Structure 1
Amino acid sequence: MNLLAVDTAGKTAAVAVLRDDTLLYEIQSNTGLTHSETLLPMIDTALRACGLTVDDLDVLGATNGPGSFTGLRIGLSLVKGLALPRQIPCAPVSTMAALAWGMAGQGTVVGAQDARRGQVYWAAFDLEGHARLTPDRAQPVEALEEFVQRCKKPLFFVGDGAALCYNRYRQTPGVAACPPALQVLRGAGVALAAKAVWESGGCVPPADLLPEYHRLSQAERERAEREKQQGEPNHAI
């Protein structure tokens, strides 16, 4: 089974190629360039390095959220474009699950992506078996307080929102340090999470590979705020 995995949910981009249980190739880009500039060359390089073409792929995996709305659309559009003509099964991967699968060992890992406005997209996993402990959520950093305080195992934060979490919870007992260079979402994490989706029968046809945003877009939030203000009675005299 040849699997190509792609991530564009956050500030970094990642690509990996997995053959059965063997990681053939992995690359991350954190250069500040847009995903539209980097992703296709990264995929082309990965396939060439592995001696593969798109026709050799059995599964395409991609993070489908939560994360940057624009980033997710770029990655999912590209994956669907590769998969549709060949009807390659697609594995939708939670960004939080991909972050967790990129780590190994013992303890609890919280995947956290920067959602702006002091919020993070987050979810927690047990590193033993990568069992999910919480659903994916979009919340203020302060909302993690109860979970962090109650966690009984060493707790690590990863993702481009990890720094926000460490800034608040670094001194909390049980919170363990994770070097910033290891907080990046890995292509291998996406690939392993996608493999788990495939093994569980969770793959979908390319047309059904859709984003999971977990909150309204900025335009939708601003429209809702305008409608709320327009609907409020005018008490001016």
Structure 2
Amino acid sequence: RIGDTMNILAVDTAGKSAAVAILRDDTLLYETQCNNGMTHSETLLPMIDTALHACGLTMEDIDLLGVTNGPGSFTGLRIGLSVIKGLALPRQIPCAGVSTMAALAYGLAGEGTVIGAQDARRGQVYWGAFDLATHTRLTEDTAAPVASLEKFVQDCKKPLFFVGDGATLCYNSYKQVCGVAACPPALQVLRGAGVALAAKAMWEAGACVPPAALLPDYHRLSQAERERAEREKQQAEGTV
């Protein structure tokens, strides 16, 4: 940490939208969201540049970098991690690899339980549950069919919210369950402020790492790896 304040630059590219935020101690200086269908490789660097200029900062003023490191889109995660590593390496700025689910939870405030859910395709979601008031983790992050959340949803004793680009899939399945509370689609997006706040909590817990140690946490094999494993299994069984 440099000086009397801490400036955190945080980014997210784990899903369909991209987000950037700058947090100074407990003050959110800047936040932006982009969900226009353009690729993260097109939008992320200009968003970061605009954020720094808007706050009158340069990378020399940044004390901590936060980035969602998974689970989520493999390509999206690689873009975000590569950009943050590139920004961090010259000055060896500490980095926080933030769980996508934790970032979703930290972007929402109130009372109850929040499930961060990102669309993992094939009827599955990446999901993790947190206490909304304290952001205490209630489950580990995992990839699973939407139907497998049923026991947790049914057993939840507090109002339950879904956020993330997989939230609609969950609401479609569980909106009639007693205790499931509505969250408007516009507020289900992963916020840059959520990444920044989760990164700040990781810093305070001593969980940040040097740039070289910043790694993705995919939680499952890529499609190409799954297809290769299936081909190898079929070959071993003599079915191809």
Do residues 77 (structure 1) and 78 (structure 2) align? no
Partner of 1:223: 228
SS at match of 2:69: strand
From 102, 107, 115, the counterpart of 1:110: 115
Partners of 1:64 and 1:233 lie apart in 2 by 38
- Deviation digits for residues 80-130 of structure 1, max 9, x if unmatched? 000001100001100000000000010000000000110000000001210
Residues 79-98 of structure 1 correspond to what in structure 2 (within 5 A)?
A: 79-98=84-103
Do residues 184 (structure 1) and 202 (structure 2) align? no
Partner of 1:164: 169
Amino acid at match of 1:175: V
SS at match of 2:20: strand
From 131, 135, 140, the counterpart of 2:136: 131
Partners of 2:66 and 2:154 lie apart in 1 by 34
SS at match of 2:134: coil
Partners of 2:185 and 2:126 lie apart in 1 by 18
SS at match of 1:17: strand
Partners of 1:127 and 1:186 lie apart in 2 by 15
SS at match of 2:227: helix
Name segments (4+ residues, structure 1) moved above 3 Å. none
- Deviation digits for residues 197-219 of structure 1, max 9, x if unmatched? 01100110001110000000001
RMSD: 0.6
Partner of 2:54: 49
- Percent identity over paired residues: 81
- Deviation digits for residues 41-71 of structure 1, max 9, x if unmatched? 0000000000000011000000000000000
Cα deviation for residue 233 of structure 1 reads: 4.0
TM-score by length of 1: 0.98
Partner of 2:63: 58
SS at match of 2:84: helix
Partner of 2:3: none
Q: Which blocks of at least 5 consecutive residues in structure 2 are unaligned?
A: 1-5
Partners of 1:172 and 1:52 lie apart in 2 by 47
Partners of 2:77 and 2:57 lie apart in 1 by 25
Partners of 1:107 and 1:32 lie apart in 2 by 32
Partners of 1:67 and 1:227 lie apart in 2 by 26
Amino acid at match of 1:123: G
Partners of 1:220 and 1:188 lie apart in 2 by 33
SS at match of 2:126: strand
